[in-house]
Structure 1
């Protein structure tokens, strides 16, 4: 089935001193327009590698990515990216940080229109009274709001989130989750989010893609969630299937742990056998 976003046989291999290492292999995923999908898996399984390939920031080794009928060949304003750290220019104001991208993408728009666009999204994320505060004077949560506004202000076809709330306290995290979902519903932006938080994935997503352990990570399971939009946190938690899905996702992660332990034990046993064989030979 074709989708608004198509990732087909996506793979990433790095050359090392010990030979090529395949990080992601045969990763296939299609997204419909406006869909929100989370990539969930253990640290180091290749989630961020997939995201940076889709963003055009990491060269694709095999396969490809098509967005709205066009195969990507590098970064572009059709994809907005929000990282765990917002990477703002600390000496610039919140408005000036958002204007950096707006000025590059909307070259033909008037200065006033560009400023209004940046101000609009800063207001949406709750920073209407902090437009002229320098980034270095903002709290971590406020800086991440600037990062979200900066991504949305480019009016991207796709939003890519790499653990965007990972450095925030729980209250700020929940508040920003809800603000983000409100904007996504309004703008109907197709979204992929990398997370290691099961509850975050359940609350935010239409589908959750579970990734197997790396190396050679791929899609291990996909869960389609029945929760209605707009999302109300209390309703999601009270949904009769919430804890069933939560249990299945945790079980998948635990199964990956067991597979890793087994593989590590087999490697140690093989290494011991090789050492014994070498000792016998000498």
Structure 2
């Protein structure tokens, strides 16, 4: 594989009143240029922590991230980020929200050129007729389209998506998934997406990285997704490998559930034994 992104021994530890809390430990992943990888796991396992470290928005405790032969040391325009909530300036128009980033990344371009870049990507996400609508007047799905257009307009080397469709209804979610894939196929942007949706991961990605439960979460298993691109949803669902892959991924998640139940039961037994020992010593 032609390595474009290398995440090596990535770890995150927070200091707490009860001592260090290790959220992610020794997370390792290599990605090829233009590859789409979904990171999937249970809520709270550290998926978003990994993404924010790769984005440079969260300090790295151990390990590092190399993108296009450069180790990152903070946020930068080489990485476009789309969160579950698009974080727009509500009083500004759709195109002005996109231009916030474009003006920073292309300060020496003509004003008309920057405008054309912003308008082009808004058109790609289906907002060509809403360039001058205020963000506050747009629906949630339309606001997320603005967020996606803003990220692509920076022409980043890597796109980072943190459950970008999580707050949308199912029809809007499916439509935006397909729009996003069309742009990604066209621009060949290396992409990491966080999700907890098995079907979304299978439809969108080239590989699915399954994370173990936290604390000390890491890569537990990686699934290769064999479906051809460009993808048609009905063809993906009819692929002979689809339900086997889906079942294996759900099986991994259920195994993590079982391990958590066992660990929680052991903690309760330990706490009970400690309490009984303490009472006995007092008596």
TM-score surpassing 0.5? Answer: yes
**CA–CA distance in structure 2, aligned partners of residues 205 and 79 of structure 1:** 18
Q: Does 1:53 align with 2:53?
A: yes
**CA–CA distance in structure 2, aligned partners of residues 171 and 2 of structure 1:** 36
Map of 1:101-250 to 2, 5 A cutoff? Answer: 101-250=101-250
**CA–CA distance in structure 2, aligned partners of residues 133 and 107 of structure 1:** 24
> Is the CA contact 2:2–2:33 (under 8 Å) kept in the aligned structure 1?
no
Q: CA deviation at 1:3?
A: 1.3
**CA–CA distance in structure 2, aligned partners of residues 138 and 33 of structure 1:** 34
**CA–CA distance in structure 1, aligned partners of residues 18 and 148 of structure 2:** 40
**CA–CA distance in structure 2, aligned partners of residues 250 and 3 of structure 1:** 29
Deviations 1:36-77 (A, max 9, x none): 000000000000000000000000000000000000000000
Q: Larger deviation: 30-39 or 1-10?
A: 1-10
Q: Give 2:76's aligned residue.
A: 76
Q: CA deviation at 1:214?
A: 0.2
**CA–CA distance in structure 1, aligned partners of residues 10 and 165 of structure 2:** 26
SS across alignment from 1:4: strand
> How big is the alpha-carbon RMSD for the aligned residues of Structure 1 and Structure 2?
0.6
**CA–CA distance in structure 2, aligned partners of residues 166 and 88 of structure 1:** 17
Structure 1 gap ranges (5+): none
SS across alignment from 1:243: helix
Q: Give 1:99's aligned residue.
A: 99
SS across alignment from 1:120: helix
The count of aligned residue pairs is: 282
Q: CA deviation at 1:33?
A: 0.1
SS across alignment from 2:3: coil
**CA–CA distance in structure 2, aligned partners of residues 118 and 130 of structure 1:** 12
Q: CA deviation at 1:275?
A: 0.4
Q: CA deviation at 1:131?
A: 0.2
> Is the CA contact 1:2–1:30 (under 8 Å) kept in the aligned structure 2?
no
> Is the CA contact 1:13–1:23 (under 8 Å) kept in the aligned structure 2?
yes
- Change in Cα spacing, 1:269 to 1:2, as seen in structure 2 (3 Å) is farther
SS across alignment from 1:28: strand
Deviations 1:209-228 (A, max 9, x none): 00000000000000001100
**CA–CA distance in structure 2, aligned partners of residues 215 and 192 of structure 1:** 22
**CA–CA distance in structure 2, aligned partners of residues 68 and 235 of structure 1:** 34
> Is the CA contact 1:38–1:194 (under 8 Å) kept in the aligned structure 2?
yes
- The TM-score normalised by the length of structure 1 is 0.99
Q: CA deviation at 1:125?
A: 0.2
Q: Give 2:271's aligned residue.
A: 271
Q: CA deviation at 1:2?
A: 6.6
Runs of 4+ in 1 over 2 A off after TM superposition: none
